[in-house]
Amino acid sequence: MSPMFVPGPVDVSPDVLQQQTKAMMPHRSKDFEAIFQRSAEKLKQIFYTQYRIFIMTNSGSGAQESAIRNLSKERVLNCVNGSFAKRWYDVSIANGKLADKIEVPMGQAILPGMVEEALKKEKYDLITIVHNETSTGVENPVKEIAEVVQRVSPDTLIAVDAVSSLGGTKIEMDAWGLDVLFTSSQKCLALPPGIAMIAVNDRAMARAAEVPYRGWYFDYLLLEKHRVKDSTPMTPAMSLIYALDFQIDRMLAEGLDNRFARHSGMAKYSQEWATKKGWALFAPEGYRSQTITVVVNPPTFDCAEFNKFIAPRNLRLANGYGDMKGKTFRIAHMAEIQMNDLENLLSSIDEFMLGK
Ligand code: PLP
């Protein structure tokens, strides 16, 4: 496998890819329902939850939309500190919700005090937070923010997007008091794109029951009606679920704590490497992602040029996202990436810069 240091779709192990070639079967059959049931059950370990997990046939953005459609009756507060958090605000507006945002510049974190202030000014039935902002490499202090929400406004539900961190970083849904937590397949779970997994607690289900016009495809009540029969209302992406079932076993065999330590070890290594070179990290200390390190471009570094340089080595690095393109570069050290892959990439950057 040739490692791509991009934040999804990531490299998928060949034996996981192979699972997708298994024969189809009726999705409403005992055999498929068994695979679906055990995949959802095993996922609970990775989400640190006792609640239900819906496996949805859509990408992470669909999970964002589902939270807005099901959980907000009146007014939603979107925490915005990067492109994906901004997308969630756009989703709120597109669904006709009254939405306010707490907004900080790209590269900054949302702090608990900001949330406290906003919740004291206005009543919100839902707050949305992106745990790991893939566009900037900032990890928001979700546990501390959740504590504030529970203290200041206990009826406000907390929905967390962990699309680029869940499975690479420990996020304890139940212990932290998160109501909804989701990821999609193509990032830390190291699967091809196409499915999202969303954990929804009982409080969130009770809210959904009170919200009219939740739509159909993302309706949590409809999904639940079928989930209890180990099924889905619509035809699921069965090949991906074969791969998911297999991949969760691989992840559990690695050991979740070992997996988290592998990711945090690579984050530390990348941060120290950049700092030693005098290159600035985009995220402030204390709020740095464990799965993606974002570095401010030194004047002589051009990501596109570097990717041409490393193409023969079958490596690939991610440019800055959106407005940050050409201003930062992103080292995604997630999923199947190992420390020796990372060392190889960083020494290639060192080599590339020798001639500069
Ligand atoms: N949220 C975050 C943090 C992301 O990084 C992404 C995609 O990169 C998304 C949401 C959107 O996910 P998808 O592309 O699976 O719709």
The rounded Å distance from CA 337 to ligand 1 centre is: 19
Q: One digit per residue, pLDDT tens: the chain, 356 residues?
A: 568 999 999 999 999 999 999 999 999 999 999 999 999 999 999 999 999 999 999 999 999 999 999 999 989 999 999 999 999 999 999 999 999 999 999 999 999 999 999 999 999 999 999 999 999 999 999 999 999 999 999 999 999 999 999 999 999 999 999 999 999 999 999 999 999 999 999 999 999 999 999 999 999 999 999 999 999 999 999 999 999 999 999 999 999 999 999 999 999 999 999 999 999 999 999 999 999 999 999 999 999 999 999 999 989 999 999 999 999 999 999 999 999 999 999 999 999 999 77
Same domain, 138 and 211: yes
State the pLDDT at residue 228. Answer: 98
Last residue of a domain, one of 195, 229, 252: 252
Sheet of 316-319: strand order equals: 4-5, 316-319, 328-332, 292-296
State the pLDDT at residue 2. Answer: 62
Last residue of a domain, one of 229, 252, 275: 252
Which CATH number goes with the domain that contains 345?
Answer: 3.90.1150.10
184 CA closest ligand 1 atom index: 15
Same domain, 266 and 240: no
183 pocket-lining for ligand 1 (C-beta < 6 Å): no
Pocket probe mutation, ligand 1, options 134, 169, 292, 334, max atoms within 8 Å of Cβ: 134
Same domain, 195 and 262: no
State the pLDDT at residue 286. Answer: 98
The residue type at 211 = V
Same domain, 175 and 321: no
61 CA closest ligand 1 atom index: 16
Based on the structure, what is the number of domains in the chain? 2
* Residue whose entry in the numeric block shows the structure tokens 């990290």: 281
Same domain, 348 and 245: no
Same domain, 174 and 304: no
Pocket probe mutation, ligand 1, options 84, 131, 191, max atoms within 8 Å of Cβ: 84
- Residue 188 CA to residue 334 CA, distance in Å, equals 6
Same domain, 239 and 277: no
130 pocket-lining for ligand 1 (C-beta < 6 Å): yes
- Full residue range of the structural domain in which residue 244 is found: 14-252
State the pLDDT at residue 356. Answer: 78
The rounded Å distance from CA 24 to ligand 1 centre is: 28
- Residue 333 CA to residue 187 CA, distance in Å, equals 10
* Residue whose entry in the numeric block shows the structure tokens 């608990």: 112
Tokens of 238: 């069965």
User: DSSP secondary structure string, 200-250?
Assistant: E-HHHHHHHHH-S---STT-HHHHHHHHTTT--SS---HHHHHHHHHHHHH
Q: Is 276 helix (H, G, I), strand (E, B) or coil?
A: helix
- Residue 291 CA to residue 10 CA, distance in Å, equals 12
- Residue 217 CA to residue 223 CA, distance in Å, equals 8
Report in angstroms the alpha-carbon separations of 103 from 3, 77, 98: 34, 10, 16
59 pocket-lining for ligand 1 (C-beta < 6 Å): yes
Q: For the chain, where are the E strands, in sequence order?
A: 4-5, 52-56, 75-80, 98-103, 126-130, 132-133, 138-139, 157-161, 180-184, 196-200, 292-296, 316-319, 328-332
Which CATH number goes with the domain that contains 197?
Answer: 3.40.640.10
Same domain, 177 and 56: yes
Last residue of a domain, one of 252, 283, 302: 252
Give CA 235 to chain center in angstroms.
24
95 pocket-lining for ligand 1 (C-beta < 6 Å): no
186 CA closest ligand 1 atom index: 15
Same domain, 154 and 119: yes
State the pLDDT at residue 355. Answer: 75
Same domain, 262 and 116: no
Same domain, 146 and 244: yes
The rounded Å distance from CA 214 to ligand 1 centre is: 22
Same domain, 329 and 228: no
